[in-house]
Chains A and B, each alone.
Chain A
Amino acid sequence: MSEKYFLKHIDRPESNTLAFYLQQGGYRTWKRVLQEKSPEQIIEEVKRSGLRGRGGAGFPTGLKWSFVPRQSASPKYLVCNADESEPGTFKDRYLIEREPHLLLEGMAMAAYAIDSRQAFIYIRGEFAYGAQTLERAIHEATEAGLLGKNIQASGYDLQITVHRGAGAYICGEETGLLESLEGKRGWPRLKPPFPATKGAFGCPTVVNNVETLVNLPVILSLGADRYAAIGSNEKNTGPKLYCLSGHVNRPGLYEFPLGKNLQELIYQEAGGIRKGKKLKAVIPGGSSVPVLRADEIDVAMDFDALVSRGSMLGSAGVIVMDEDTCMVKALLNLATFYSHESCGQCTPCREGTMWMKKILSRIEHGQGRPEDLPLLEDIARHIQGRTICPLGDAAAMPAASFLKQFRQEFIEHIEQKKCPHSK
């Protein structure tokens, strides 16, 4: 049983109060950091810890911070990306609702490190309770002198503002998020310029995921070396939340060091497949990453091992599908999601996602043609890498991988002119 950093209070409903958090030793690291460490030292420490962004891309956090110009005439902003909307992912929601002070403490450290005096939490519109919880936590922490003006007489000010989204998946993309934060339509921006130089309101900005930020108090209390010892190797360090959903006996949120074996996660921790069925497929990192077949799951859940297996860690939203699952229908479900959530700004994604959905719907309903499979692959290939933001890739990758891994099922649908799984 490895030590828990994020889920240790899962059975304590009062875990989101300041009183409880302080009682557990919360904010002690923040106060110490304010007194003892310079922003440069924090960045250095985070770099040494090997922390990689938990939003999906796995970009080294310390490195991301170091792109922000040290001297800047304009204000700098820290933005917490709490727009968790990736299907199969529910880790940030837990942290927001149950460990808001851990998030605030992490944000304070990140903001201090990049010298930001104003931070935003962009929270998914549907998380109404989470937004309320955060507002209350910010109020409590400010009253206690842990945020706000002249924190702990250090001369450092930090205001944290909660901004609720309006229900678009695309606003989880960091530049789409910034547009939305500015009050505009959530259309991702062309990069460069990257947010580190020109982000919110044209000012240098760091956008970090909720789970990334809650790692900071852990790093700074344990020290970079002890933190880096957690995980599968020096490039994949720290504790990690895994979201298990689908046909497992015990779906839910699990915490293990980064690099937990996927097979163990499903069969030992989550109690295996429901009703004793056989496993068919696993999407290991939220709906946008390539799917794995049942024989491919003996793999470490970290950024690099999954890439070498042809998939990605993504948000670690593990979606488990048993032998009864119709893979055409599953892909149709995903394609419907992405065509619905495509922002429509750039051509391949706007047109291609809906086209794929229409073709898949035909195949699922027994009207597929043999030439539809190469056509689907073509469309996916034409979307991938040619869009402004990664949503295009996110829509194309599952399509390409489902077709590669489970092609026979698609052929069966076309040959039998119906879905073999439908009753």
Chain B
Amino acid sequence: MPTLKIDDKEITVEPGASVLQAALANGIEIPHYCWHPALSVAGSCRLCLVEIEGSPKLQLSCATEARDGMIVRTQTESVKDARKSMLEFFLINHPLDCPICDKAGECLLQDYTWKYGTSHSRMVEDKRERPTKDLGGNILLYRNRCVLCSRCVRFYQEVVGDPYLFIEHRGYHSDISIFPGKGLTHKMTGNIVEICPVGCLIDKDFLFHARVWNLQRSKSVCPGCSSGCTIYLEHKDRRVFRIRNRENPAIGQQWICDDGRYLYHRYENLNRPESPWTRQAGELKPQTWEQAMIYAVEALQKNPGRLAAIGSAFASCEENYLMRKIFRQILGCEYLSFYAPAIEEADTVYRSGFTIRGDKSPNRKGAGLLLGDQTDFYQAIESGRITRLFLINGDPLLHLTLEQKRILAKLQELWVLDIQSPEWDSVAAHFWPIACFTETQGTFVNAVGQVQRFQRALQPPQGVRPGWEVLLDLLARLAPGAGMLSAADVLDALAMEEPAWRSISYFKLGDQGLPIESR
């Protein structure tokens, strides 16, 4: 493997890596716009020029392969001069509208100018002015801010495989554009906002909503499909403002789709009770959690023969595991299964291999491993095999058909743990409000068997508790001494019991997760 020196630091890299990659991997910053790890090398922004011993001219670090014995300098006067002049070129026509620009605070033009540029402009002529363009979907093109790095253009060519965007006109008038009559209508648009190094591509969904430095980030996993893309939930004031891609090299995930990016809206304005309720004489009566638990502990232990428990492909592994533990091991129920939505569409695979799955649930695999095959519990109710049911959901799009409601109404008693109540108002005997994925923590197993952890971003509303906590409470009341106190404890207990999870623990999972062992 080649070993080179960058700023007197000895660095060994994989063969074929560029000088820029070598530097970045070792904490040496070389400013750059056009280079992006997931895209081809364009070499056009000219910002990453460095000195390489033996070359008379400055060399592009993004396009120069790191070779053995190379001596690279990134802090010499000529490199600094080149950076300074390049930033001056970028800025002469830039509107300097940071105070009203969404990108401010995470803008590479701001950051690099602050670090490497100058504080005044030498251009007295009028700036190039171009109106902002709506590219369709949620994407706005603030053309005045563009640095023509062509990342978005290459993204469409190389990742999406459909060249929606191109560069129109020539020279000084070069301009990102879209073909006439076309709009960005597919599901990958949000990524170009993220890879835009400046404030040129802006997401209407976030436009003028918050300053980015006021947002907090939590590491989460997208529940939109079984790909389980890792994401950041960015939030403040108990509200999610946007979802950003969190790359996961362990499973080669570099992008997220728009379904996932805007999915947090599904969890806004849910109709959520502030406490459990129970049906008394046809009326829904609020209860305290304590009352609900005391009743359930007594009622569930009676006649468990026809009691069934239904987990969910939207519930975490911890919740599904606790369901199994309570209902199979403690109460001895026979009928265990889980809810998952029907798969109604084929996977969408993009040129780079990025896949949006047709399976629109995040944890079908985990639920299946823990609770066995998915079976039609409606039929079991119809046939009288199940008379009482304890069910956890979490799917914000769940919609019960009239037929399903008719069948559920046959049950003697139905406990429902869900994030919202309207679907259950007419059928459930007991409703326990639980937290949605932004308000709780746990793990999902995605379609390729990667166990990934999601963190809690928001506090659940008053009276709402995380599902795992509720189930753990119930378990502790039914069988004291289980010794589990947290979601982490639950996962570790699961890992002890379940061979597929053998090599996994909550802390070993880290940010990228670990694969389950295939049997």
Which of B46, B47, B123, B174 interacts with A355 by CB under 8 Å? B123
Alpha-carbon distance between A54 and B193 when the two chains are bound, in angstroms: 47
Interfacial chain B residues near A347, Cβ < 8 Å: 44-47, 86, 89-90, 147-148
Given contacts A359-B125, A387-B46, contact A341 B90 (CB under 8 A): no
Interface residues of A in 361-419 (CB under 8 A from B): 362, 369, 375, 378, 382, 385-388
Alpha-carbon distance between A388 and B41 when the two chains are bound, in angstroms: 13
Interface size class of A (residues with CB under 8 A): 20 to 34
Interface residues of A in 299-356 (CB under 8 A from B): 339-355
Min distance, Cβ B219 to any Cβ of chain A, angstroms: 35
| CB-based nearest A residue for B58 | A386
Given contacts A358-B125, A362-B125, A385-B57, contact A344 B46 (CB under 8 A): no
Task: Tell me if A1 counts as interface (CB < 8 A to partner B).
Answer: no
Min distance, Cβ A189 to any Cβ of chain B, angstroms: 9
Mark the stretch among B164-172, B183-191, B484-492 that contacts chain A: B164-172
| CB-based nearest A residue for B56 | A385
Task: Tell me if B43 counts as interface (CB < 8 A to partner A).
Answer: yes
Interface residues of B in 11-57 (CB under 8 A from A): 41, 43-47, 49, 57
Min distance, Cβ A177 to any Cβ of chain B, angstroms: 16
Alpha-carbon distance between A132 and B58 when the two chains are bound, in angstroms: 44
Q: A23-60: contact bitstring with B at CB < 8 Å (1 yes, 0 no)?
A: 00000000000000000000000000000000000000
Is A190 within 8 A of B171, CB to CB?
no
Task: Tell me if A185 counts as interface (CB < 8 A to partner B).
Answer: yes
| CB-based nearest B residue for A340 | B171
Q: 4 tightest A-B contacts by CB?
A: A344-B174, A382-B85, A342-B171, A351-B89
- Number of B residues near A (Cβ < 8 Å) is 33
| CB-based nearest A residue for B128 | A354
Interfacial chain B residues near A385, Cβ < 8 Å: 57-58
Min distance, Cβ B164 to any Cβ of chain A, angstroms: 16
Contacts A168-B170, A352-B89, A354-B171 known; 9 new A-B pairs at CB < 8 A: A339-B171, A340-B170, A341-B171, A345-B174, A351-B90, A351-B172, A359-B125, A382-B85, A386-B58
Is A353 within 8 A of B122, CB to CB?
no
Is A190 within 8 A of B122, CB to CB?
no
* Residues of chain A having any CB pair with chain B under 8 Å: 168, 185, 190, 339-355, 358-359, 362, 369, 375, 378, 382, 385-388
Q: Main SS of chain A's interface residues? A: helix
Contact sample, A vs B, 29 pairs, CB 8 Å cutoff:
A190-B43, A339-B172, A340-B170, A340-B171, A341-B170, A342-B172, A343-B171, A344-B167, A344-B169, A344-B173, A344-B174, A346-B43, A346-B46, A348-B46, A348-B86, A350-B148, A351-B92, A351-B172, A359-B125, A369-B124, A375-B122, A382-B86, A382-B89, A385-B57, A385-B58, A386-B82, A386-B85, A386-B86, A387-B46
Task: Tell me if B93 counts as interface (CB < 8 A to partner A).
Answer: yes
Task: Tell me if B447 counts as interface (CB < 8 A to partner A).
Answer: no
Min distance, Cβ A186 to any Cβ of chain B, angstroms: 9
Min distance, Cβ B116 to any Cβ of chain A, angstroms: 14
Min distance, Cβ B158 to any Cβ of chain A, angstroms: 15
Interface centre among A339, A344, A378 (most CB of B within 10 A): A344
Interfacial chain B residues near A358, Cβ < 8 Å: 125
Task: Tell me if B135 counts as interface (CB < 8 A to partner A).
Answer: no
Is B148 within 8 A of A344, CB to CB?
yes
Interfacial chain A residues near B41, Cβ < 8 Å: 190
Which of B44, B173, B174 interacts with A388 by CB under 8 Å? B44
Interfacial chain A residues near B90, Cβ < 8 Å: 347, 351
A-B contact count (CB 8 A): 88
Interface residues of B in 330-345 (CB under 8 A from A): none
Is A346 within 8 A of B45, CB to CB?
yes
Min distance, Cβ B296 to any Cβ of chain A, angstroms: 67
Min distance, Cβ B390 to any Cβ of chain A, angstroms: 62
Given contacts A344-B172, A353-B172, A358-B125, contact A386 B43 (CB under 8 A): no
Alpha-carbon distance between A216 and B316 when the two chains are bound, in angstroms: 76
Is B58 within 8 A of A350, CB to CB?
no
Interfacial chain B residues near A190, Cβ < 8 Å: 41, 43, 60, 63
Is B43 within 8 A of A350, CB to CB?
no
Min distance, Cβ A339 to any Cβ of chain B, angstroms: 6
Given contacts A190-B60, A386-B46, A386-B82, contact A350 B171 (CB under 8 A): yes
Given contacts A347-B147, A359-B125, contact A386 B173 (CB under 8 A): no
Alpha-carbon distance between A411 and B81 when the two chains are bound, in angstroms: 27
Interfacial chain A residues near B93, Cβ < 8 Å: 351
Min distance, Cβ B72 to any Cβ of chain A, angstroms: 17
Is B171 within 8 A of A353, CB to CB?
yes
Is A345 within 8 A of B44, CB to CB?
yes
Interfacial chain A residues near B57, Cβ < 8 Å: 385-386
Is B89 within 8 A of A348, CB to CB?
yes
Q: B120-149: contact bitstring with A at CB < 8 Å (1 yes, 0 no)?
A: 001111000000000000000000000110
Interfacial chain A residues near B46, Cβ < 8 Å: 346-348, 386-387
Min distance, Cβ A184 to any Cβ of chain B, angstroms: 11
Which of A343, A352, A359, A387 interacts with B170 by CB under 8 Å? A343
Alpha-carbon distance between A375 and B121 when the two chains are bound, in angstroms: 11
| CB-based nearest A residue for B81 | A382
Alpha-carbon distance between A349 and B85 when the two chains are bound, in angstroms: 12
| CB-based nearest B residue for A359 | B125
Min distance, Cβ A56 to any Cβ of chain B, angstroms: 19
Alpha-carbon distance between A352 and B82 when the two chains are bound, in angstroms: 13
Alpha-carbon distance between A349 and B60 when the two chains are bound, in angstroms: 16
Is B43 within 8 A of A344, CB to CB?
no
Alpha-carbon distance between A96 and B116 when the two chains are bound, in angstroms: 51
Min distance, Cβ A229 to any Cβ of chain B, angstroms: 34
Interfacial chain A residues near B82, Cβ < 8 Å: 382, 386
| CB-based nearest B residue for A168 | B170
Alpha-carbon distance between A113 and B444 when the two chains are bound, in angstroms: 64
Alpha-carbon distance between A107 and B252 when the two chains are bound, in angstroms: 49
Alpha-carbon distance between A362 and B124 when the two chains are bound, in angstroms: 10
Interfacial chain A residues near B169, Cβ < 8 Å: 344
Is A355 within 8 A of B92, CB to CB?
yes
Interfacial chain A residues near B92, Cβ < 8 Å: 351, 355
| CB-based nearest A residue for B65 | A192
Is B49 within 8 A of A350, CB to CB?
no
Alpha-carbon distance between A322 and B89 when the two chains are bound, in angstroms: 35
| CB-based nearest B residue for A382 | B85
